[in-house]
Structure 1
Amino acid sequence: MTINFQKMHANGDDFVIVDLRGQADFIDRDIVRRLGDRNRGIGFNQLAVMTDCEDAAVRLAFWNPDGSTLDVCGSATRGVAWKLLRETGSSSVIVRTNRGLLTCSKDVGDLIAVDMGRPSLDWRDVPIACEMDTLAVSLPGSPAVCSMGNPHCTFFVDDVRDVEIEAIGPEIETHPLFPQRTNVHFVQIIDPTRIRLRIWERGGGIPLGSGSCACGAAVNGIRRGLLSGSVDVVCDGGSFNVRWDGIGSVFLTGPVEASFSGVWSDDALQKS
């Protein structure tokens, strides 16, 4: 058995695409953990697996490097769209995720945009463990929470450089308030149209960026009345743009770039 893969990134938010169209999906947690090992495997923030789909160009399944799953990944979704748009020569494509059908399209300057769907704002849908106001949950710092298909917890701070992310991030990710764990954001507002974002990613640690986290952070800032409906989100690796009118879908736009392609062999998979 071999696995053909493509490594890509979005402002340094790196992901791997495995195209299994026309094949059975054999990817499991053990394979994901081996592939995701940055020392012995390929390494990635997320893995996206493409399979056949009747009502969309492809079905996408997403994995974290620790072998856990997630319903959506904004960066990897745009990477798959980049691949499909070049295959077909079209200007837009629809993919299916556990989040639902997502429409992706070319934007100016070779950027890729994706309709990430509506955010979930009710406490049961995030989810959090008990009923409370998702604009200010009962944690020190009163963060706001929402879901973009995965949970997001946003702290607004004066300066992200002062935050000890390695210490605070894991504590909040695994807090009993979040039964499915959560992504953790630290947001410094530069002005109503621009924020500085640093992230502790559920199941992944500190990434250079994250499309879905950029969306979650912007949504929570807009809900708080701190941000406009179009926000440039500056992560460690670069910028994304997030648009939300406060009612409908969230739109994520940013660059994606191919890094390299390769083949993962059966021999490598059998090593412990």
Structure 2
Amino acid sequence: MARGNFHKMHGLGNDFIIIDTRTSPVEMTTARARALADRKTGIGCDQLILLEPSDMATVRMRIFNQDGSEVESCGNATRCVVSLLGQDATIETDGGKIDGAYHEDRITLQMPPPRFDWQDIPLAFAMDSAAMPMAWDELANPMAVNVGNPHAVFFVDDKDAIDLLHLGPQIEHDAAFPERVNVNVASVRDGALFLRVWERGVGETRACGTGACATAVAAIRQGKVASPVTVNQAGGSLTIGWEPGGLIEMTGGATYVFMGEVDWDDFG
């Protein structure tokens, strides 16, 4: 039997299976990631995280969504990894290197600078990424931004009035987004942001770290809020700071839930 250990953690309710393959080697496939993430027949998570050796950072992080697809970046998971390591650390991801400062009750990340060019989102063809000339029912003219992964940000009067379960998958899979997209719907109130996120490959989530970054960047760029800004989600709040041309700073908590042991062969 191929047994190994895993850690279960969450950042504001966005939950992860974290496997340190440096000590518990496991071959990960799309099917195995999907089986482990299943909340009825597996361990259950929004994302599965593999930690691997890195030549350029403390550790390399690979990220698999609930549907088994591998993606570039995850802010909440990165905070959890820094917390798990218990020290300041640099995390290598496919979305860029992230520096993490460790404190017992909070983690601060220095995320890569946001990108706005249509090729960098990426979009399927050239268009104004600051106000895309597209609409899906009441959601129109989003700002597209890449913060290590692609996001479309909509500002609305009442985020809770939006049928995100209906519109989220439509926008995620729209042909305008060749690598799919995370969908952010936000309201501005008293200088703070209130956010819901439809995460590609997962669905609506209690919190999305990169979504908070993308939404804060869009709001700051449009003059809707000042930096740093509090971004409130169903699972809790993050503080996001950004100045044009600079890195994105994210501060928030990370929660350790439990450690378990599993036979990987039971999951394909």
Same fold per TM (> 0.5)? yes
- How far 1:24 moved relative to its partner? 5.2
User: For 1:99-155, what per-residue CA distance to the aligned partner results, in whole angstroms no more than 9, with x for missing partners?
Assistant: 222110025x71101111111110000001111111100212111110111110011
- How far 1:28 moved relative to its partner? 1.3
Aligned twin of 2:97:
101
Alpha-carbon distance in 1 for matches of 2:264, 2:126: 48
Classify 1:195/1:266 alpha carbon distance in 2 versus 1 (closer, same or farther; 3 Å): closer
Task: Tell me the C-alpha RMSD between the 2 structures.
Answer: 1.4
Q: SS at the partner of 1:220? A: helix
Which residue identity does 1:30 align to in structure 2? A
Aligned residue pairs: how many? 263
Structure 1 contact 185–213 (Cα < 8 Å) conserved: yes
User: Are 2:237 and 1:236 equivalent residues in the alignment?
Assistant: no
For residue 261 of structure 2, the aligned residue among 255, 263, 271 is 263
Aligned residues: percent identity? 36
Aligned twin of 2:145:
146
User: For 1:70-110, what per-residue CA distance to the aligned partner results, in whole angstroms no more than 9, with x for missing partners?
Assistant: 1111011111100112xxxx4x2112111222110025x71
- How far 1:55 moved relative to its partner? 2.3
Which residue identity does 2:121 align to in structure 1? V
Which residue identity does 2:179 align to in structure 1? Q
Alpha-carbon distance in 2 for matches of 1:251, 1:173: 26
Structure 2 contact 4–24 (Cα < 8 Å) conserved: no
Note the residue ranges of structure 1 that are not aligned, 5 or more in a row: none
Aligned twin of 1:127:
122
Matches within 5 A, 1:23-62: 26-62=27-63
- How far 1:263 moved relative to its partner? 1.4
- How far 1:34 moved relative to its partner? 0.5
Output the TM-score relative to the length of structure 1.
0.93
Q: SS at the partner of 2:7? A: strand
Q: SS at the partner of 2:204? A: coil
Higher strand residue share? 2
Alpha-carbon distance in 2 for matches of 1:266, 1:58: 22
- How far 1:43 moved relative to its partner? 1.3
User: For 1:231-268, what per-residue CA distance to the aligned partner results, in whole angstroms no more than 9, with x for missing partners?
Assistant: 10000110011110121100111010011111121452
Aligned twin of 2:107:
112
Which residue identity does 2:9 align to in structure 1? M
Matches within 5 A, 1:1-272: 1-21=2-22, 26-85=27-86, 90=87, 92-107=88-103, 110-140=105-135, 141-192=140-191, 194-266=192-264, 268-270=266-268
Which residue identity does 2:132 align to in structure 1? V
Q: SS at the partner of 2:203? A: coil
